[in-house]
Amino acid sequence: MKAIYLDRDGVLNQSIVRQGQPFPPQTVNEVAILEGVREGLIKLKKLGFLLIVITNQPDIAREKTTIEEVEKINNSLKEKLPIDDILFCPHDDKDNCDCRKPKPGLIFSAQKKWNIDLTNSFLVGDRWKDIEAGINAGIKTILIDYGYDEKYVEPNYSCHTFGEVTHVIETEFSNNINKKL
């Protein structure tokens, strides 16, 4: 199976930006799905992609939120969007886990679980840690660039909206089909 690996905050739902830095919604009520996401995901699903969300949620380790609250938000996204699975890392840097992006652990866990072919898959993220995780796993990367005040890692494609992301993947997909014909 080929897959689109999607970051959560800033890709599916709005991040709350303070002083140039994005933060996740704290409760289900704060979740606002971004424009073009639902339509885009429906199109990508029709092209045969699995839709897998991989997200860092270090506020769990920082005791600013709980696993239950994060799962409530994840479940509400699953209800509204055609997502196949959501994997999250609850750790912070000091835990030195294998799953916190830019490490590729979440990508490989989902690969094993869903038998994903990474060569035909994409990663979509809004921060350098997402892009670097994709690079570390050897998959094509797409950045939704909000110009955050943080480190920049060069993706394969740079976009500004989910509509553009969908278009990039559709174009790559039809180019690949043409190559095989």
Stretch that binds Mg ion, among 40-48, 69-77, 121-129, 154-162 (CB under 5 A): 121-129
Q: How far is CA 144 from the centre of its chain?
A: 10
How far CA 89 is from CA of 31, 59, 92, 145, 165, in Å, comes to 19, 10, 8, 23, 24
Q: Residue 132's binding partner, choosing from Mg ion, Zn ion, none, with beta-carbon cut-off 5 to 8 A by kind?
A: none
d(CA 107, CA 5): 8
Of 161, 131, 123, 129, which Cα lies nearest the Cα of 57? 129
H or E segment at 80? helix 67-80
9 is catalytic: yes
Stretch that binds Zn ion, among 16-24, 25-33, 85-93, 134-142 (CB under 5 A): 85-93
Distance linking the first and last C-alpha atoms of the chain: 20
For tokens 């840690």, the residue is 129
- Kindly state whether residue 100 participates in binding Zn ion, applying the rule CB under 5 A: yes
Distinct helix (H) and strand (E) counts, the chain:
5, 8
Stretch that binds Mg ion, among 7-15, 60-68, 140-148, 163-171 (CB under 5 A): 7-15
Q: How many residues bind Mg ion (CB under 5 A)?
A: 4
Q: Are 128 and 150 in contact (CB under 8 A)?
A: yes
Q: Residue 10's binding partner, choosing from Mg ion, Zn ion, none, with beta-carbon cut-off 5 to 8 A by kind?
A: Mg ion
- Kindly state whether residue 89 participates in binding Zn ion, applying the rule CB under 5 A: yes
Give the x-and-dash track for 18-57 against Mg ion (CB under 5 A): ----------------------------------------
The residue annotated as part of the active site, out of 9, 85, 92, 95, is: 9
Q: From the list 6, 7, 89, 107, which residue makes contact with Mg ion (rule: CB under 5 A)? A: 7
93 is catalytic: no
Catalytic residue list: 7, 9
